[in-house]
Amino acid sequence: MTTDAGGESVPDSATEIEPELRLGTPADDAARDEYVRAHKKGTFFHLAGWRDVIEREMGHEPADMLAFRGGRLAGVLPLMRAPGPITRRSLISMPFAVYGGPLGDSTLVEHRLVQAAMEAAERGRAGRLELRCIEDPGLPLAPSELYSTFVRGLPQRPEEVLAQMPKKARAEARKAREKHGLVLTEGRWYLDDFVRMFHENKRKLGSPGLPHSMFWALCKRFGDDVRIHMVHRDREPVASVMSFLYGGDLLAYYAGSVEGADRECSASNFMYMALQEWAVRQGLRRFDFGRSRRDSGAHMFKEHQGFTPTPLQYRFHFVRDRALPALTPSNPRTKILRDTWARMPRPLARKLSEELCRYLP
């Protein structure tokens, strides 16, 4: 016997009743979100609200797969059709998210959901089906080892956050607080400053940002489950982060800083230390530092903060595509594009970002 998302016993796969599969509709959203929140593998990005924001702001089309047994929801695969730069589209679970993939009462249900998504990709002549799984789904799909995630439990008291940091990072965070006078405050009124910093960091990295309207839509759709924090030095905003609250976790997701903030006053060291302290005071249990490429400076920074990387188990089914997506900063062939973008005037980069970002989910 196995157990479903709510802890009830269900038959093993050899004797299981085949689930009934169909596309999700908005009428299913309340039951779907309840199922996601109860499932041990559910994430913020499995919620219907994430799909709604991406549909409205990026123009991606919903293609959610649901599984039922006896009229009861037994599995969810959040899925969207992402547009290609010309006509080719792909099915992704989930766009602009670090986590996705199938949730089910059993392995059989999850496999049936993925098989249905593979068939939909084939019928629609998609470029690929992409599942952003945390754990190996146990299916013969092409793997990717490009990304890791960083999650750890929070201590009982805020003062213990600093103590659990490695020596060098701890010294930098303490100096930022005591010598440079950095402070962390929280409020939705920081949205404009946050977006400005986020876009500046993306431009320097040679990558399109996201439209201001998407950040506002996330705040509006998820309410108090979206938080914006700002780091100030002598009342000057120097770094900011947008985080998501989900099931006792704080996911630090989007961030930005002014030029020189890390070099001059260790703004990022301080921000993530102070953000963890804030999370402890809110009664949260885990801190999710999000996804980073395994060859990136961000990956190294998170390790230096004392976080242990966990490889993400992304999986692909190719239809018209023949290889994994290569539009990443680690690809030397994109260097000219990145360098050109980094030198682009800010207003032009901001305007072009709103058009190009939908193709880089």
Tens digits of residue pLDDT in 272-312: 999 999 999 999 999 999 999 998 899 999 999 999 999 99
The reported pLDDT for the residue numbered 204 is 79
What percentage of the chain carries pLDDT values higher than 70? 86
Which of 138, 133, 144 shows the shortest CA–CA distance to 102?
Answer: 133
Q: How far apart are CA 137 and CA 41, in angstroms?
A: 11
Domain 2-147 has CATH 3.40.630.30: yes
Instruction: For residue range 169-221, list pLDDT tens digits in order.
Output: 999 999 999 999 999 999 999 999 999 999 888 877 777 789 999 999 999 99
Buried b (16+ CB within 10 A) or exposed e, 176-200: bbeebebebeeeeebbebbbbbbbb
The reported pLDDT for the residue numbered 133 is 97
Q: Where in the chain is the domain with CATH 3.40.630.30?
A: 2-147, 155-284+328-359
- Cα 269 to Cα 166, 194, 266, 295: the distances in Å are 11, 17, 5, 20
Task: Name, in order, each residue with C-beta under 8 angstroms of 63's C-beta and a sequence gap of 6 or more.
Answer: 23, 79, 80, 81, 91, 117, 120
Residue 209 token pair: 């940002």
Torsion angle (degrees, nearest 10) of CA 62, 65, 70, 72: -60
Write down the pTM of the prediction: 0.90
- Average pLDDT per block of 10 residues along the chain, 361 residues long: 48 73 96 97 98 96 96 97 76 96 97 97 94 95 94 96 93 94 96 94 79 96 98 95 98 95 94 98 97 92 95 96 69 62 64 70 81
Place of tokens 């901001």: 350
Contact by Cβ (8 Å): 182, 232: yes
The letter for the amino acid at 3 is T
The reported pLDDT for the residue numbered 350 is 65
The reported pLDDT for the residue numbered 164 is 92
Q: Which CATH number fits domain 155-284+328-359: 3.10.129.10, 3.40.630.30, 2.60.120.10, 3.40.50.300?
A: 3.40.630.30
HSE of 105 in the Cβ direction (CA atoms, 13 Å)?
A: 23
Residue 124 token pair: 């629609």
Which of 117, 141, 15 shows the shortest CA–CA distance to 66?
Answer: 117
